[in-house]
Chain A
Amino acid sequence: MAIIISEQIFDPWKLISKHQQQSQLASQFGATASFIGSMRDFNDDHEVSQMVLEHYPEMTQRYLEKLEADAKRQWPIIDCLIAHRVGHINPADAIVVIACWSAHRRAALDACNWLIEELKFKAPFWKKETRNDSDVWVEHNTSG
């Protein structure tokens, strides 16, 4: 289980691959489900040139750890990775990575889906977008 909160750009595929390669439990994995969220260069019909992602550091770490523990209680997942960017972000950068490993596909898929929805609507991150000449706080996430 791992939580990564990073101000540096990361390659989501390498993060997942590295985590899996380093896992002591890799021989038990029968399924890997992943979600990668990236920054778009538009939102609500506006062009977006960059973004700042703010968070509440102590609460973020604790909340993501709680999500991993809750997911493990609900599904027989063997391992889990949550990575999230903060700070300055550019279009096409990965913002969030969630990967779940389990013996069979259903647990990994369901846990991954649950984790991204919980993260998006409860983890204390806030996006501020640069649109044309103004900076705008994003007021809500899309529903799906």
Chain B
Amino acid sequence: MSIQVKFFASLREQIGLADSIIEQASTADEVWAIATDNAERPDNMLVAINLEYAKLNSSVSDGDEVAFFPPVTGG
């Protein structure tokens, strides 16, 4: 199993990591815990799985891309 993990913006700087690959997880929450070594999770953090918004308890599968990022501020 291989899951690609990405971090963006302020979250990337806080974690000190832009991307990572983990070998095992069943939910996005677990992906966060493994990829960040159980770093504290911001309450307002957003999650995307395969480029679509998802929830922390959403399931992940082999080959998925899971991204974590802060509230968006474009426009």
Contacts and interface: CB of A to CB of B under 8 A. Distances in A.
B10 A137 contact: yes
Contacts of B51: 56, 58-59, 62-63
B9 A126 contact: yes
A125 B75 contact: yes
B74 A120 contact: yes
Most central of B6, B51, B53, B72 by chain A CB within 10 Å: B72
Q: Is the interface of A mostly helix, strand, loop or mixed?
A: mixed
A120 B51 CA distance: 17
Contacts of A120: 72-75
B69 A127 contact: no
Interface residues of A, number: 28
B71 interface: yes
Contact of B73 (A62, A84, A141): A141
Most buried by B among A55, A58, A124: A124
Given A124-B8, A126-B8, A137-B9, A37 B73 contact: no
13 contacts: A56-B6, A59-B67, A63-B51, A96-B74, A123-B72, A123-B75, A124-B74, A128-B9, A137-B9, A137-B10, A140-B73, A141-B72, A141-B75
Interface of A: 37, 53-56, 58-59, 62-63, 84, 95-96, 116, 119-128, 137-141
Given A54-B8, A95-B74, A96-B74, 10 more contacts: A56-B69, A59-B51, A119-B74, A120-B72, A120-B74, A125-B72, A126-B9, A127-B74, A137-B13, A137-B70
Interface of B: 6, 8-10, 13, 48, 51, 53, 67, 69-75
